[in-house]
Amino acid sequence: MRRRIGAQRLSVWGAMRIEAITLRKLRMRLRAPFEASFGTTWERILVLVEVSADGLSGWGEVTAPEGPFYNPETVGTSWHITRDFLVPLFLGNRIGSACEIPALFSPIRGHEMARAAAENAVWDIEAQQKKLPLWKLLGGEHAEIPCGVSLGIQSSPEVLLEKIAQELAAGYQRIKIKIKPGKDLDYASAVRKAHPDTMLSVDANSAYTLADTGHLKRLDDLNLLMIEQPLWWDDILSHAKLQKRLRTAICLDESIRHVRDAAAAIELGACRIINVKLGRVGGHSSGRAIQEYCGAKKIPVWCGGMLETGIGRAHNVALSTLPGFTLPGDVSASRRYWDEDIIDPPIEVTPRGTIVVSQKPGIGYSVRRDLIERLTIEKESWRAQ
Ligand code: OSB
Ligand code: MG
């Protein structure tokens, strides 16, 4: 049954009313500190968004870190934007599909990570309503996804080699190491020497400038799969200049916020691979659009990570099943990050270095409410009239 409301067509039986929204701030200790060029993370303060509609609960995770050192968003800005701007835009609304959320949120400029968590929670609800796993609702094709790991900067190449041996023994298909000036060539060459055939990449998180071009060219000898975001986080043009001088493929992470950035990067020749992160691009609709665009341009994509809990991780798994996600992502087992994850079961990786995708409705994992309540340090809820 369909009904016309103004210019919008709503399918009435499928419609959902956004009845309540809850924001929670959690504190969770990582099993091991994670060092990137922008700093070290020992514990995460993170925001979860729970949306209630038609008796169902959907969950999304804000991937913004505590400080604006990866991109401009933070835990604090995401709380402010969600509470003061997103909640009023969708609380009490009746929508036919999560596909309508980007249009509702379109007055908000930037703040992709805040928007992503709210939109993704609605995707979770829609999938549950339709009794489908989220990955199938999104149009996913692979029921098993290839996995890689991202290793933080270590105190020495020897320590890094030990960690890599463990990850390869666990089955992971691709190793990515974080680099920064002074901790780059020695580390990457040691890994390449020990593992001549392993899929290997490096991630600089914007630690270099074009003046380092000569230095970065030395990475060309290491047969790397890619070098991720070597230059300024918001500078596509400089990456195009660098890519012309490197044989190794550049992969953009920080610089890609939506499909228009992806189009600019590809047309300028700024990268040959794109890392899609749900938070950074504003949610599943945008992630899917980037994936489709890159597919048409024959640019491989893969799913990045932001040290997520199981909720963000489950959304990453769903995204990774889409066509075009051909390279192993930074989507790895819950136990690499947490003693106890907030979903049940935790996400596990097979000895072949894959995740077998859940066939259950929604994000495919149960959310451990009791544990979430115990980890919550701040909470705010809104209910529609
Ligand atoms: O650049 O991919 C990145 C973690 C935090 C912020 C940025 C990045 C990362 C990672 C880790 O590389 C990915 C993960 O294991 O979740
Ligand atoms: Mg990165």
Cβ–Cβ < 8 Å for 41, 69: no
Mutate to test the pocket of ligand 1, among 28, 275, 306 (most ligand atoms within 8 A of CB): 306
Residues of the chain with CATH 3.30.390.10: 16-131+368-383
Q: Whose C-alpha lies nearest to ligand 1, atom 5?
A: 306
Question: What is the pLDDT, as a whole number, of residue 5?
Answer: 39
Sequence-distant (6+) residues with CB within 8 A of 101 are 90, 95, 118, 119, 122, 283, 285
**Which residue matches tokens 């300028």?**
268
Length of the chain: 385
Ligand positioned closest to the Cα atom of 167: 1
- Average pLDDT of span 154-178: 98
Determine the pLDDT at residue 4: 40
CATH number of 136-367: 3.20.20.120
Nearest-ligand number for the alpha carbon of 178: 1
**For position 9, what pLDDT does the model report?**
43
For ligand 1, atom 12, the nearest C-alpha belongs to: 150
CB 27 within 8 A of CB 378: no
Active site residue 176: no
- Please tell me the distance from the alpha carbon of residue 292 to that of residue 315, in angstroms, as a whole number: 18
Side-chain half-sphere CA neighbours of 75 within 13 A: 16
- CATH 3.40.640.10 assigned to 16-131+368-383: no
CATH 3.20.20.120 positions along the chain are: 136-367
312, 134 in Cβ contact below 8 A? no
pLDDT the model gives residue 14: 63
Handedness of CA 254, 255, 256, 262 (dihedral sign): negative
| Tens digits of residue pLDDT in 121-143 | 999 999 999 999 999 999 999 99
385 alpha-carbon distance from chain centroid: 34
Residue 216's H or E segment, with its range, is: helix 213-217
Could you check whether the bond before residue 345 is cis, i.e. omega within 30 degrees of 0? yes
Query: For residue range 26-51, what is the model confidence (pLDDT) as tens digits?
Result: 999 999 999 999 999 999 999 999 99
Q: Residue 2, by phi and psi: left (phi above 0), alpha (psi -120 to 50) or beta?
A: beta
For a substitution probing ligand 1, which of 41, 113, 330, 338 has the most ligand atoms within 8 Å of its CB? 330
Average pLDDT, the chain: 96
53-102 pLDDT, tens digit per residue, is 999 999 999 999 999 999 999 999 999 999 999 999 999 999 999 999 99
Rounded-to-integer distance, Cα 385 and Cα 18, Å: 11
Q: How far apart are CA 226 and CA 358, in angstroms?
A: 30
229 CA distance to ligand 2 middle (Å): 6
Ligand 1 neighbours by CB, cut-off 6 Å:
36, 70, 150, 203, 205, 253, 304-307, 330
Q: Which two tokens stand for residue 313?
A: 């991780």
- Per-position b or e across 142-159, b if 16+ CB within 10 A of its CB: eeebbbbbbbbbbeebee
Name the token pair of 271.
């990268």
pLDDT for residue 6: 36
From the candidates 277, 297, 298, 379, give the one annotated as an active-site residue: 277
Active site residue 178: yes
Q: Which protein residue's CA is at the shortest distance from atom 14 of ligand 1? A: 305
Say what percent of the chain tops pLDDT 90. Answer: 96
171 with 349: CB under 8 angstroms? yes
Whether 10 has a pLDDT exceeding 50, the answer reads no
Backbone angles phi and psi of 209, in degrees to 5 = -130, 175
Question: Which ligand 1 atom sits nearest the alpha carbon of residue 277?
Answer: 2
Ligand 1 center to 13 CA (angstroms)? 40
Q: For residue 280, give both structure tokens.
A: 């950074």
The amino acid occupying position 284 is H
The residue from 178, 180, 298, 360 that is catalytic is 178
Residue closest via CA to ligand 1's atom 9 equals 306
Distance CA 351, CA 344 (A): 20
- Residue 2's pLDDT is 38
Cα of 56 vs centre of ligand 2, distance in Å, is 34
| Mean pLDDT along residues 307-332 | 97
Residue 213 to residue 341: CA distance in whole angstroms:
41
Helices 259-268 and 236-245, axial angle in degrees (round to 10): 30
Let me know: does 227 contact 249? Beta carbons within 8 Å: yes
Closest CA to 360 of 128, 140, 145, 138: 128
Average pLDDT over residues 193-199: 98
Above 90 in pLDDT, residue 332?
Answer: yes
